[in-house]
């Protein structure tokens, strides 16, 4: 890289670090890690962070197939949904990195042993539980209430959401369709639903939708520390050094 551009990048990095230090997004002793990154990457993280939400969250109940699992995560990340709840079924939850394009790297994934524990945890955090279901009780995604945070449960393609979940849910929802086929692939259904509800929630509940400053600071630090191989190598060296000093 020509010296001119290197100097410009260094100046941008210093300016960014100073701004983020004032906002408590970074600490003084993190400059060494910070300067391992290009300013463009840091600016991209800050831009993405402004649109992150936990108001809408995705929950996957026994969703099978690495491709489906990966595509759901990729859609969630693309629409700014940060938290994903995972309940494993007969198959392990092992998303295909080639499909996720590392989307899962930027998400907060929480695994649960069973559906009741996932529902209990989400309710405790203020979520209304919504389950996909093609039934007379299901309402269109266009009519779902967004006066509270919404946890959107999707089941696997063979069985859908479990009976246990359908009984515990606060409501059932469906995607209106006009063709002969009355169901989508689970990853497509998740993408369509997230597109519709994140767009509506930003419009209907803007003061609740986006992360607060404390959440942004915490998430930015997490992203910063996992951003690149040089940063990870440096962190590993620091941990090893600290371990030796403790002996």
The per-residue pLDDT for 134 is 83
In terms of pTM, does the model score above 0.75? yes
CA distance 43 to 13: 10
* Domain locations along the chain: 56-209
Query: Above pLDDT 70, what percent of the chain?
Result: 86
Which of 87-91, 149-153, 231-235 shows the lowest per-residue confidence on average (mean pLDDT)? 231-235
**Secondary structure (3-state) at 239:** helix
User: Which range has the worst mean pLDDT, 30-44, 79-93, 115-129, 205-219?
Assistant: 30-44
Check whether 99 has a pLDDT greater than 50: yes
Residue 5 has pLDDT above 50, yes or no: no
Instruction: Output the pLDDT for position 89.
Output: 80
Residue 183 banded pLDDT, cuts 50, 70, 90:
confident
pLDDT at 19 over 90: yes
Structure tokens at 156: 């696997």
* Range from 12-16, 129-133, 230-234 carrying the lowest mean pLDDT: 230-234
pLDDT of residue 98: 65
* Torsion angle of C-alpha atoms 155, 198, 141, 104, degrees rounded to 10: -10
Per-residue pLDDT of 126-144, as tens digits, reads: 999 999 998 888 999 999 9
Which pLDDT score is estimated for 228?
65
Which structure tokens are listed for 111?
A: 């695994």
Overall average pLDDT of the 89-105 stretch: 76
The confidence score (pLDDT) of residue 247 equals 59
DSSP letter at 218 equals H
Q: Which residues contact 131 (CB under 8 A, 6 or more apart)?
A: 153, 155, 161, 165, 166, 169, 171, 172, 173
Please state, rounded to an integer, the average pLDDT across all residues of the chain. Answer: 87
pLDDT at residue 245 in the model: 63
pLDDT above 50 (res 62): yes
- CATH H-level, domain 56-209: superfamily: SPOUT methyltransferase, trefoil knot domain (3.40.1280.10)
Helix intervals (H) in 105-182:
115-124, 163-168
Check if the beta carbon of residue 57 is closer than 8 Å to that of residue 85.
yes
Express each pLDDT in 204-220 by its tens digit. 999 999 999 999 999 99
Average pLDDT over residues 166-181: 87
């Amino acid at each position: 890289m020509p010296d001119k551009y290197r100097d410009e990048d260094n100046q941008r990095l210093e300016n960014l670090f100073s701004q983020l230090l004032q906002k408590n997004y970074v600490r003084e002793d993190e400059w060494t890690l910070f300067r391992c990154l290009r300013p463009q990457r840091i600016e991209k993280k800050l831009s993405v962070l402004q649109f992150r939400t936990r108001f809408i969250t995705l929950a996957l109940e026994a969703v099978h197939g690495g491709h489906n699992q990966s595509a759901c995560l990729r859609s969630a990340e693309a629409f700014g949904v940060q938290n994903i709840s995972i309940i494993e079924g007969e198959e392990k939850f092992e998303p295909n990195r080639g499909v996720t394009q590392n989307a899962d790297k930027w998400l907060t994934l929480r695994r649960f042993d069973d559906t009741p524990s996932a529902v209990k945890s989400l309710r405790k955090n203020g979520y209304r539980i919504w389950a996909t279901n093609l039934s007379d009780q299901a309402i269109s995604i266009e009519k779902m209430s967004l006066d509270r945070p919404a946890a959107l449960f999707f089941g696997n393609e063979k069985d859908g959401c479990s009976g246990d979940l359908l009984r515990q849910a606060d409501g059932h929802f469906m995607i209106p369709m006009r063709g002969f086929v009355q169901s989508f692939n689970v990853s497509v259904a998740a993408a369509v639903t997230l597109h519709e509800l994140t767009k509506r929630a930003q419009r209907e509940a803007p003061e609740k939708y986006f992360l607060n400053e404390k959440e942004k600071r915490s998430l930015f630090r997490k992203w910063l520390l996992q951003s690149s191989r040089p940063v990870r190598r440096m962190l590993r060296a620091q941990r090893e050094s600290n371990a030796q000093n403790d002996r």
